[in-house]
Structure 1
Amino acid sequence: MTDMESLLGDETPTGGSRRAERPRRRGPGCLIALVILAVLAGVAYWGVSTGIEKIQDQFSSADDYSGTGNGEAVSFEVKQGDSIADMGRGLKAAGVVASVEAFIDAAGANPKANRIQAGFYALEKEMKASAVVDVLIDPANIDTTTVAIPEGFTVKQIVARLAKQTSFKKAEFEAALKDPKALGLPAAAEGNAEGYLFPATYSFGPNKKPADMLHDMVARWQQSANDDGLDAAAEALGYSTHDIMTIASLIEAEGRGEYRTKIARVIYNRLENPDNGLTNGLLEIDATVNYALGRDDIGLGLTSEDLEVDSPYNTRKYPGLPPGPIDSPGDDAIQAALHPADGPWLWYVTVNLKTGETKFTDDYDTFQEYKQEYLQYCETSEAC
């Protein structure tokens, strides 16, 4: 055996030779590997446990209150276009329901939940989700104040009705009228809301203030004007939009039904032929005189003293149109102003105040006959 062989001993494999291997030591690399394995194991455990929790959540009941409220009132608004989830989030934020999930589940169990309407609802905090759904599906529970404004009402009458049927005072509406920009009045109105508070039935939510209510009425007028193409139609007739609204208000005050388009023609005939030798450009509409006198009922009869009131609204005294509308005309009156009947008439007389029957003529003597017919009617009728 050689010295080399004695050094290698039995470690030397047969058929070849190699260097002796050094003993291996466990260094920092092994520790790092163990740490990584531990972290991976922790992540795996977290993922599995979280997944299990989520699965458990799917099969567990959502937080919900048990009663119909704790007595603390909440005015909750369902907005146009809100989804059930939107409502749930709003209700949860307001403290009405315990969880969004409970409300979604309750709505899903109620076949009428897809009929929930926009509006304000009187609820309470800490209500059972199903009880909330029961309130929201009934439109009778919408918390609104309904006010009907008839055609022909003046601003004065509108304010009086709003003050009577809402919780606000007359002075608050009058103060709001002094800010025409906030109301959205058109520039042609020159700050005067007369004629631009559209007659309709309004539903005001609990958050509406006087300025908001009046703004809604002006917005409704603007909607009607857009629908009618009012600006373009007025221009086609050779008048401004303000002129047409003024004429429409005169028609609203003076006639009804089928007679409106004929009254419109009488007004245009007088305005456009001031030198006819018969009317001297005067409209001679009694309703304008009553408006000038500040009367609520602009359909009242007039005395000779009334006819002398010095006001630009007195069309018995001043030719042409008055400065602006004298009431709030509705769609029919506006349409009559835009589409007058054809005819030569210069006078009209309503000979029956109950039926509204009105007679028209272009002959002064015939006009006097109609006036006598009206006076005879008044002798036997309480309508005059």
Structure 2
Amino acid sequence: MTEYGRSSGSEPWHPEDPLYGDQGWGGQQAAASQPPYGGQPQQQYPQQPQQYGNQQDPYQQDPYQQQYDQQQQQQYDQQQQRYGQQQQQQYNGQQQQQYNDQQQYNGAWDTGQHPAMPYGVDPADTYGGRQPGYGSQQEADYYATPEAYPPPQPPGRRQAEPEPPTSDWDAEAPQEETHPFFTGDDGRDDDGEYDDEPRRGGGRDGRGKTKKKSRNGVACLVVSLILVGGLGGAGYFGYQFWQGQFGAPEDYTGAGSGSAQIDIPKGAGLGEIGTILREAGVVKSSGAFVSAADGKSIEAGVYTLAKGMSGKNAVAAMLNPASRNNLIVPPGKRNSWVYEQIDKRLGVKAGTTKAVATAKVKTLGLPDWADDNRDIKDPLEGFLYPDTYPVAKGMKPEAVLQKMVAQANEAFGKRDLKAEAARLGLKSPLEVLTVASLVQAEGKYKQDFDKVSRVVYNRLKPNNAETVGRLEFDSTINFIKSESTLDVGSVDNLRKIKDPYNTYDIKGLPPGPISNPGLDAFGSALNPTPGPWYYFVSITEDETLFAVTNAEHERNRKKYEEQQEKNRQ
């Protein structure tokens, strides 16, 4: 008897044998209604549980049951080893066909009613060609030969055999791309809705190849257009960059036509000027102007230029004074002269700018310390700062005056004039500006400003015995008469003129400035040169004589008269 309860004779195969039916997978377990071991009752061996206190050890196992489990494990390992060897063997087409035929013959495989037998073995042989002693090393292995077909699989692991290729083309054809981007099948129907139900003709693949290929082509076309567009854009910007770095700037040709008024602000560089000209249509590009200027200096102001000019012609026109519409206010000029020039530049009626200055004085931006004396003739006197201003037709007088006042505030506001006035013994910042205007008018030359300023402060001293507190400047008489002459008359006649600006009559400073001082005269008014002088007279442009006493001053006057006689000859 074997361990399965049958002898080594030729009795029919017992259904309870583990090798019956599924060759060890489905048949190793005995039927539920039949007892194992060939109907022989299993011998029961009582167990002696080991006690631990009041509990029985649940892990103690029957030694006979353990031996039986080891035998079962041995047989299972041998079967797994044979199965691993069978998987490594190749099969050819003829043996595969024979295997399929055998599978058809044994149609009740899944039911476990008939044992699987090797191909070519007589069914009457109850051992299927095996030698007694199954499980031993001497038994025949029908799956180890090259001609053997694969071993039977457990029912849960069986798979349908792949169909053999019908041609070489089908065998080598690449797998069809299934990604929705290329197939166009995104799981939605023609109405844009997702369809969870399988379509007729095989689910989603049943839609047909034509639609997929159409969507595939559209996707590829879109990708191609994007790539071509990206390359084109990169090429365009690359060309523009190359042109900007190495190519010649765009430029017009010729002198242009028409006219345009261009206002160039103070301190503008060539690049900024080129941009202003390009935006006004004068030049085609800023680079053309900058290249033609070649580092030349362009003054601020208003220019009348043509449109469509080449960069070279635009530079030449701006360097020509005839193209400029700039009003240059020299230091020492009175407001009366400035008003006349603004009227001419703007093309308005004479007296227009002066009337605007009088009517809108409070809106022109004067500092709070200006116009602090009721005797001031013109509150703007001294605040139309000497500089270059763009003044052209179409502008308003008020706008021009506001620019001039703003320039004066910027220049004079850099110093604390209230503190400077107190330091110099003056009453207000306006008196500082008034001293500067006197220095500008009397000194005439920059090298004399510091000494002229000292003469002003010396004559303003209370202990002044030479002029008894009077300035006695001819410049104030010229201001009253709106003249510019050296021969103002005798002192006795001058003192008869009753005017708050007549320094031959009044003591101290006039009510306000008598001209528009420049920055040099303003600096000298703040920093006079120390000295005892009370008198001065300019002999020539390069020579001014200063004196401490009146007698010394009279000798200097004779030198002045002699020089004037020579100039008349």
Instruction: Please report the TM-score for the alignment, with normalisation by the length of structure 2.
Output: 0.50
Q: Is the 2:274–2:287 Cα contact (8 Å) retained in structure 1?
A: no
Give the aligned partner of residue 134 of structure 1: 312
Give the aligned partner of residue 230 of structure 2: 51
Say yes or no: does 1:189 pair with 2:370.
yes
The structural deviation recorded for 1:328 is 1.9
Q: Is the 1:315–1:321 Cα contact (8 Å) retained in structure 2?
A: yes
Q: Is the 1:351–1:373 Cα contact (8 Å) retained in structure 2?
A: no
Listed as ranges, the matches of 1:127-166 within 5 Å are: 127=308, 132-138=310-316, 139-140=318-319, 143-164=323-344
The structural deviation recorded for 1:323 is 0.6
Say yes or no: does 1:171 pair with 2:351.
yes
Cα separation, 2, equivalents of 1:249 and 1:150: 13
Q: Secondary structure at the match of 2:498?
A: coil
Q: Secondary structure at the match of 1:335?
A: helix
Cα separation, 2, equivalents of 1:84 and 1:53: 33
Cα separation, 1, equivalents of 2:319 and 2:422: 45
Say yes or no: does 1:266 pair with 2:455.
yes
Distance 1:27 1:168, change over 3 A: farther
Q: Deviations over 1:318-350 (max 9, x none)?
A: 22211101112233432332222333344x252
Q: Is the 2:251–2:288 Cα contact (8 Å) retained in structure 1?
A: no
Distance 1:47 1:301, change over 3 A: same
Say yes or no: does 1:330 pair with 2:518.
yes
Q: Is the 1:359–1:370 Cα contact (8 Å) retained in structure 2?
A: no
Say yes or no: does 1:301 pair with 2:480.
no
Q: Secondary structure at the match of 2:310?
A: helix
Q: Secondary structure at the match of 1:187?
A: coil
Listed as ranges, the matches of 1:56-67 within 5 Å are: 57=236
Cα separation, 2, equivalents of 1:105 and 1:247: 49
> What amino acid does structure 1 have at the position aligned with 2:366?
L
Q: Secondary structure at the match of 1:358?
A: strand
> What amino acid does structure 1 have at the position aligned with 2:450?
T
Cα separation, 1, equivalents of 2:485 and 2:557: 22
Say yes or no: does 1:217 pair with 2:397.
no
Q: Deviations over 1:145-183 (max 9, x none)?
A: 233433322111222344445644443321442334554
Distance 1:381 1:198, change over 3 A: farther
Distance 1:27 1:282, change over 3 A: same
The structural deviation recorded for 1:197 is 2.0
The structural deviation recorded for 1:193 is 1.4
Q: Is the 1:159–1:173 Cα contact (8 Å) retained in structure 2?
A: yes
Pair member with larger Rg: 2
Cα separation, 1, equivalents of 2:272 and 2:438: 49
Distance 1:104 1:251, change over 3 A: closer
Q: Please report the RMSD computed on the Cα atoms of aligned residues, expressed in angstroms.
A: 4.8
In structure 2, runs of 5+ residues without a counterpart are 1-104, 111-150, 161-197, 372-377
Listed as ranges, the matches of 1:48-87 within 5 Å are: 48-54=227-233, 57=236, 68=254, 71-75=257-261, 80=268, 83=271, 87=275
The structural deviation recorded for 1:244 is 1.6
Distance 1:368 1:54, change over 3 A: closer
Q: Is the 1:312–1:323 Cα contact (8 Å) retained in structure 2?
A: yes
Q: Is the 2:537–2:560 Cα contact (8 Å) retained in structure 1?
A: no
Cα separation, 1, equivalents of 2:206 and 2:437: 97
Cα separation, 2, equivalents of 1:195 and 1:374: 33
The structural deviation recorded for 1:26 is 2.2
Q: Is the 1:135–1:141 Cα contact (8 Å) retained in structure 2?
A: no
Count of aligned residue pairs for this structure pair: 360
Q: Is the 2:262–2:305 Cα contact (8 Å) retained in structure 1?
A: yes
Cα separation, 1, equivalents of 2:293 and 2:561: 61
Distance 1:316 1:211, change over 3 A: same
Q: Identity of aligned pairs, percent?
A: 25
Distance 1:356 1:85, change over 3 A: closer
Q: Is the 2:477–2:488 Cα contact (8 Å) retained in structure 1?
A: no
Distance 1:336 1:28, change over 3 A: farther
Q: Secondary structure at the match of 1:251?
A: helix
The structural deviation recorded for 1:246 is 0.9
Distance 1:141 1:334, change over 3 A: closer
Q: Secondary structure at the match of 2:203?
A: coil
Distance 1:267 1:168, change over 3 A: same
Distance 1:356 1:212, change over 3 A: farther
Give the aligned partner of residue 10 of structure 1: none
Cα separation, 2, equivalents of 1:250 and 1:336: 11
The structural deviation recorded for 1:237 is 1.8
Say yes or no: does 1:198 pair with 2:385.
yes
Instruction: Please report the TM-score for the alignment, with normalisation by the length of structure 1.
Output: 0.70
Say yes or no: does 1:314 pair with 2:492.
no
